[in-house]
Structure 1
């Protein structure tokens, strides 16, 4: 018999409130190993960027300069693919395979509006993400204190996304749309979530992994119509990528450089380092920031809600992508999931209390049979 304890911060007990003693001890051991693994980030190489500029959080300054120059050229009437190819050659960037050139979506949109409008739009989108997550988390926590803590953690994840100097950086917009998609997700009203997820993928195609994961989750839950919606979004992305590949092939020359590939094999440490650099954890020393990333993953695992399971799956999937395919200079891929990572810390107090109580439970029930 397992007795649930009263929640500390949550309105409902955590996912670990009803585990038995043996399972709780295994989970605590797994948490300890996870926290130890986060210190691999200390040995993970990351390019040194200008610590006083936005590049310290969003990637190399040269990449941002490249994207801005392409937007400027398109704004003055240039063809996107010609402008991108010329700028990439000038910066000695690889042009093969076709995915080395970003989709034209963001550059074309930024080119038709003044820079001030782009900056205001970025602020508004960031605020919309914050409001959507506030509405999503309001019933999850029982009191105002944990709600304030959760929103403060969300602000810590959004800190890099409100920098107007990063408007030309694709991961900034894609990460915000992906976070908004998750906040809007409801099993009974999934279409807005699909639309925002597709918007993220059309800006940065690596968000296509999110579409695939959500489709699989819907299928596993038996929601076929929803799964079809996510698959349809993935099909749109696939068509756009085919058209993009064809357009890139028209401007690539035989002797244009080829990408060195995406097989960095830098492991879990790169994901932890990426999350540390992409959030407010960049202000803390790495020995402190690294285990907080691990605790954030643990917190999302503790939320007894289907969205909590999807969040954990998403974070683990991008951790695998970064660990296997990411290079030291592509750590900014982590910006796709950075906005909401730290909110997982708000679930940690209840999760730790529940696991500790279950692991130390010594209660026994003795049944006696009396024959008269």
Structure 2
């Protein structure tokens, strides 16, 4: 066979070792969906809370989730359940019910769960500012009630929704949505005792809000107001063997390098050791929204679009292979590309 050209010596990309160390912890990150029911304030703190929706909409959301993996290209007709949800979301109250249903019923253990939320929100009519504010206030209700807890799954889904809305409504509406309560909620999720999936999507939501410059300043001030910037601790997870924590570390480091810069902190790409790395992902041959690690060996996409990158090594003849460690769930394509191929990040193909 041969040796891997990317690195001279084995390291964290030793797949057998990585999988063996990660197996037990990965299982711990999969949280089964609890039975969610409507409860009153007099119930115990361990009771779960359900945002207002209907069983019919819940069923349509789950049908859409179940059919998503059958969509093989952009010309494929959307599933009937998705079309019905779009029609329901055309009205203000319907949009809120569809979003509430996604928060309630999309399970943690389905790898396409966040993708369905993003897909449905992107395909639904753009909500009004008032609708989004109503939704934001509704998300804060369980916290205000005190005795009622929302599940970890619901928290993850809320963060996905907030991030998607922040991206769709960048500008004045995004500023209005990022209330003190919303910002406090997202930042409070960056504690190490929080479920890693909730931490991850809270970080991504903060990234999306930071696309609006005023929000970016507000978030940075809020992070600096903490006794210690939580991102500094979380970026240490970048080499974790726990898949989800590693993603949190990647996003925290990326935020510190690109969004919420700190005086006196070196950029990661200035301090990373690239000795022995012969091939890396090409930061000058990449589509717009792809995040690339400082050592050039890892890429991540948190945008709705389908981002792409080529590496820095060209082959013209002979037999070649590469090895890839897939850290995240979700939709991705890995393959070979000529120098003339064009990255079309909004149609999921490369020509």
Q: What TM-score, normalized to structure 1?
A: 0.31
Give 1 or 2: higher helix fraction. 1
Q: What TM-score, normalized to structure 2?
A: 0.32
Give 1 or 2: higher strand fraction. 2
Larger CA Rg, structure 1 vs 2: 1
Higher relative contact order (CA 8 A, sep 6+): 1
